[in-house]
Structure 1
Amino acid sequence: MITTTTWRHNFTNYDNLENINATGHQHLEILQPLATKKIRLQLNNLYDEIPLKISQLTIFNNQSDKRTVTLNGKSSFCVEPRLIKWSDWIDIDLVANTFLSIDLFSPNKTIHTSGLTISNDLIHTANQDPTIPKYFFGISGIQIETNQPYEKLAFFGDSLTNQGNFSAPLAKNLENNFQIMTANFGISGNRLLHPGNSTSKWSTSFGEAGFTRFDHMMTNYQPNIVIFMEGINDLLHPGTGTPLAELPTAEAVLKAIIILKSKCKKFDTTFIPMTITPADGNLNGGLLGWSAQKENLRQEINRGLLTMPHIIDLSTLVSDKSRLKPEFDCGDHVHFSNNGGKIVAKYIAEQLIRKKII
């Protein structure tokens, strides 16, 4: 049998969030694209300084058929600080393209190691409002046993990727129609060239520079395909809580992306960059995040990106000059709306087919 990752979502350090687990109980439903009879969960406490205590963890397809998840044979256990662990393998009869329910009980009220989603396509939380961020903890990945290998695709980027409004519906399409398993390695606020460095209360959650964390993703996940969408925060953040001196040159951004492409080549991984979408009109920390200088940099970077193989020109699809078209704009002039994200997902899938990547 072959171990296959069927769901993976990047966690980061939300050190400003308190009482994320106020009730002591978290219910998640996570889409599983493949049928299986064995499953295990990735237990994540990477950024906290105290153990994550789990008093009970169960999974089920229906209420009458629950399975207890154990770690080293114990149904009540701790995940020590700064660690990620895999649970024991659990026997379960799981049908393809169904949501796996997960109930996690923990006495820890404040948990900083968390994931974020807005889309409900792959992850259901207690609150399913399609317009607001939902935070979840404890479970950052799912693996199953299969009898054949599957190609793996990684979405790598910032909040546009992390929120899921384009990446989640695209993931469903790739998994259901092309048998390609996907993982979301987006981090909201993440920059390509610099780690989080801002007066924003969210600064720590912005994570290490994408340029360095890309190596961790390649080594640990080893994707066959990477869809890369990063760079907008390198332009947006400087001058709005981040030092303006950290505004990069177009040459620096392009050089970094070319290096990432070369790293993919060493892994025999197909690297698919996407052009940087616009952000004119955005308010970041109450300050205008965009300027003529930043727009000129975006255009210069995109011209360079358009010379790369496998490039997907997302900017032309969603842009009205320096702004997002209304049909793509969630209202903050940076992020995609739910409907706009679905249009983007369909467009990317068409491009992947046209380029004969899938």
Structure 2
Amino acid sequence: MIKTTTWKHNFSNYINLDHINANGHQHLQIFQPFASKKIRLQLNNLYDEKPLEIESLEIYTDSKKKVLVTKDGKESFTIEPRLVEWSDWIDFNLPAESFLSIDIVSPTKGIHTLGLTISNDLIRTENTDPVETKYFFGVSEIQVKTEHSHKRIALFGDSLTNQGNYAAPLSTDLETIFHCVTANYGISGNRLLHPGHSTSQWSTSFGEAGFTRFDHMIADYQPNIVIFMEGVNDLLHPGTGSPVSELPSAEALIKAIHLLKKKCKKHGIIFIPMTITPAFGNINGGVFAWSDEKEKIRLAVNHELLKLPNVIDIASFVGEDNKLKAEFDYGDHVHISKEGGKQVAKFVEEQLIRKKMI
């Protein structure tokens, strides 16, 4: 049997949020593509300074057949600060293409080690509003044992990936139609060249620079394919919370992306970059976040990206006259809407098929 990651979502440090787990209970439903008899959960307390106490953790697809998840044989356990640990392997009859329900009872309040989603396609919380941001804690990865290996695809980027409006429907198709497995390595607010460094209340959640965390992703997930979508925050943030001196040149961004491509080649990974989408009209912290200078940099970077063999020109698909088309605009002129995300997912899927990647 082969150990297979069937779901993985990047967690970050939301130190500014103190209301998470106010009621001491969390219910999640996470899509699982493959049938299995063995399952385990990754439990994440990486960014907190206090233990994450788990009084009980139950999984089920049928509410009448709940199964307790244990760690070191114990039904109640603690994840110590700054650690990521695994539960025991659990005997569990997991059907293919089902939503795994996860109930966590925990007395720990004010949890800051969190995942984020807007889409309900892969991750469903108790709040199913299609446009609200949802935060969840505890479980950041699911592994099962399967008879066959599966191609691993990492979706690496910022909030456009993390929020899931394009990434979740794309992952669903890649998993159910093409029998790949996917992992969401998006971090909202993340920049390629700089770590979180801003007057924004969200600064700590922006994470380390994408250029360095890319290495962690390779070592941790060992993907066969990386779909890379990052760079817009490198242009948005300077002057709107981050120092304007951190606005990179087009040459700096291009060089970094080429180095990521080389890292992938070294490890036998196919690198699929996507062009940087437009953000004209965005207001960040009450300040207009875009400028002619930033647009020139974006266009220069995209011009060079289009020379790469596996590039997907997402910017031309969602943009027109240097701004997002209305049908793709979430409302802030940067992020992709739910319906627009479905179109983006189909477009990327078609490109992967055309390039014979899947």
TM-score range, shorter chain: over 0.9
CA positional deviation for 1:302:
0.2
Residue in structure 1 matched with residue 48 of structure 2 by the alignment? 48
CA positional deviation for 1:322:
1.6
Residue in structure 1 matched with residue 119 of structure 2 by the alignment? 119
For structure 2, list consecutive stretches of 5 or more residues without a partner in the other structure. Answer: none
Residue in structure 2 matched with residue 66 of structure 1 by the alignment? 66
CA positional deviation for 1:238:
0.2
Residue in structure 1 matched with residue 182 of structure 2 by the alignment? 182
CA positional deviation for 1:159:
0.1
Residue in structure 2 matched with residue 288 of structure 1 by the alignment? 288
Q: TM-score normalized by structure 1?
A: 1.00
Instruction: Work out the CA distance in 1 between the residues paired with 2:22 and 2:290.
Output: 38
Residue in structure 2 matched with residue 100 of structure 1 by the alignment? 100
Residue in structure 1 matched with residue 169 of structure 2 by the alignment? 169
Instruction: Work out the CA distance in 2 between the residues paired with 1:61 and 1:284.
Output: 42
1:345 aligns with 2:345: yes
Q: What amino acid is the match of 1:297?
A: I
Instruction: Work out the CA distance in 2 between the residues paired with 1:115 and 1:281.
Output: 28
Give matches, 1:167-246, under 5 Å.
167-246=167-246
Residue in structure 2 matched with residue 35 of structure 1 by the alignment? 35
CA positional deviation for 1:69:
0.4
CA positional deviation for 1:309:
1.3
Give matches, 1:275-354, under 5 Å.
275-354=275-354
Q: What amino acid is the match of 2:178?
A: F
SS in 1 for 2:44: strand
Q: What amino acid is the match of 2:160?
A: L
For structure 1, list consecutive stretches of 5 or more residues without a partner in the other structure. Answer: none
Instruction: Work out the CA distance in 2 between the residues paired with 1:96 and 1:239.
Output: 48
Instruction: Work out the CA distance in 2 between the residues paired with 1:76 and 1:309.
Output: 51
Write the deviation string for residues 156-177 of structure 1: whole angstroms up to 9, x where unpaired.
Answer: 0000000000010000000011
Instruction: Work out the CA distance in 2 between the residues paired with 1:121 and 1:187.
Output: 18
Identity %: 65
Instruction: Work out the CA distance in 1 between the residues paired with 2:112 and 2:344.
Output: 31
Residue in structure 2 matched with residue 142 of structure 1 by the alignment? 142
CA positional deviation for 1:320:
1.3
Instruction: Work out the CA distance in 1 between the residues paired with 2:100 and 2:324.
Output: 36
Instruction: Work out the CA distance in 1 between the residues paired with 2:337 and 2:207.
Output: 24
Instruction: Work out the CA distance in 2 between the residues paired with 1:222 and 1:309.
Output: 22
Write the deviation string for residues 193-225 of structure 1: whole angstroms up to 9, x where unpaired.
Answer: 000111000000000000000000000100000
SS in 2 for 1:276: coil
CA positional deviation for 1:63:
1.4
Write the deviation string for residues 139-163 of structure 1: whole angstroms up to 9, x where unpaired.
Answer: 0000000011111000000000000
How many residues were matched structurally? 358
Instruction: Work out the CA distance in 2 between the residues paired with 1:43 and 1:296.
Output: 43
Residue in structure 2 matched with residue 128 of structure 1 by the alignment? 128
Q: What amino acid is the match of 1:36?
A: S
SS in 2 for 1:327: helix
Instruction: Work out the CA distance in 2 between the residues paired with 1:91 and 1:61.
Output: 14
Q: TM-score normalized by structure 2?
A: 1.00
Instruction: Work out the CA distance in 2 between the residues paired with 1:353 and 1:166.
Output: 17
CA positional deviation for 1:19:
1.9
CA positional deviation for 1:240:
0.3
SS in 2 for 1:189: coil
Instruction: Work out the CA distance in 1 between the residues paired with 2:109 and 2:82.
Output: 18
Instruction: Work out the CA distance in 2 between the residues paired with 1:60 and 1:220.
Output: 27
Q: CA RMSD in A?
A: 0.5
CA positional deviation for 1:321:
1.6
Following TM superposition, where does structure 1 have runs of at least 4 consecutive aligned residues deviating by more than 4 angstroms? none
Instruction: Work out the CA distance in 2 between the residues paired with 1:294 and 1:61.
Output: 48
Q: What amino acid is the match of 2:22?
A: A
SS in 1 for 2:327: coil
Residue in structure 1 matched with residue 87 of structure 2 by the alignment? 87
